[in-house]
Structure 1
């Protein structure tokens, strides 16, 4: 495969992951949590970078595409750790420790809490959550971006 074909493959991979997430949201009715949304932005960047790289042949774009894919993989790994309650998630989208809260504070937190919690798995296949699948496929995309970078324009 040429550099342009490989960058298009990487961009198509990010586009497929984005379309999958949007399908789960708009067709499947699974509202995304805060961390789910954060995983989408680097894919948008990777798609744009892939199109630019394919059109121009600029090799220096491939490492940026790899960085975008690595960023979303990192967020996906963090989200997986939050879902498995290994690390604490952002206070904006996880329940956290409520043992020291007053009833008024707890009520206020409940009333302002987002509908979708980051520490709850909304969907999984074979015991692997959507965040984990995103991380795995994004790491594959990092490898494709690196392969593109190593190819001649």
Structure 2
């Protein structure tokens, strides 16, 4: 092995640490700080779980199968980055969130329609930022982590694939 080559076990281990840390952080905010997650937050968690499962299978495999599963973990992370980026856009009002997750438009509604819309509104909305640090929301930090880790893992797996 070349000294500059990325060891094939390192990449899935990084996925386990990164995604595991993100999930632990999300659970801390949910249970330790009483910040209930919205529907988009849950979707982002599923991406991390998928990445962790692929990374665990990669660690239990060898050769090109390990690299392929590592690539799947990287793709799951990039999917999570896409979901997180979408969530940030919903939080910032750049676009509407999914129906039932964002505040409904109340323009032109009758009183009865307004009452029905308010009663049907979700308890945890996707278009509100419940916590931020340095102006970046949890979805924003998840976007940055998932994108960086996903690109790192896919790049490393692709380099190793060419030399395997």
> Which stretches of structure 1, 4 residues or more, deviate above 6 A after TM superposition?
none
List alignment gaps of at least 5 residues for structure 2: 1-5
Distance in 1, Cα, partners of 2:133 & 2:70: 31
**Secondary structure of the residue that 1:42 maps to in structure 2?**
helix
Any conservation in 2 of the 1:50–1:65 contact (CA below 8 Å)?
A: yes
| C-alpha contact 2:75 2:154 (8 A) present in aligned 1 | no
TM-score (norm 2): 0.88
Contact 1:72 1:135 in 2 (8 A): yes
Which residue matches 2:23?
18
- Work out whether residues 16 and 52 of structure 2, in 8 Å CA contact, stay in contact via their aligned partners in 1: yes
Equivalence for 1:136 = 144
Unaligned runs of 5+ in 1: none
CA distance in 2, matches of 1:28, 1:108: 31
**2:90 match:** 82
Instruction: Please tell me whether Structure 1 or Structure 2 has the larger radius of gyration of its CA atoms.
Output: 2
Structure 1 residue 31 corresponds to structure 2 residue 36: yes
Q: What number of residue pairs does the alignment pair up? A: 153
SS of residue in 2 equivalent to 1:56: coil
CA distance in 2, matches of 1:17, 1:114: 25
TM-score of the pair, normalised by structure 1 = 0.94
Q: Which residue of 1 aligns with 2:135?
A: 127
Aligned mates of 1:64, 1:115 — CA distance in 2: 34
Pairwise CA RMSD: 1.4
In the alignment, is residue 43 of structure 1 matched against residue 51 of structure 2?
A: no
Structure with the larger RCO, 1 or 2 (CA within 8 Å, 6+ apart): 1
| Cα distance between partner residues in 2 of 1:112 and 1:99 | 16
Mean CA deviation greater in 116-125 or 102-111: 102-111
The CA deviation string for residues 2-52 of structure 1, in whole angstroms up to 9 with x for no partner, is 111221112210111011001100111000011111111010000111111
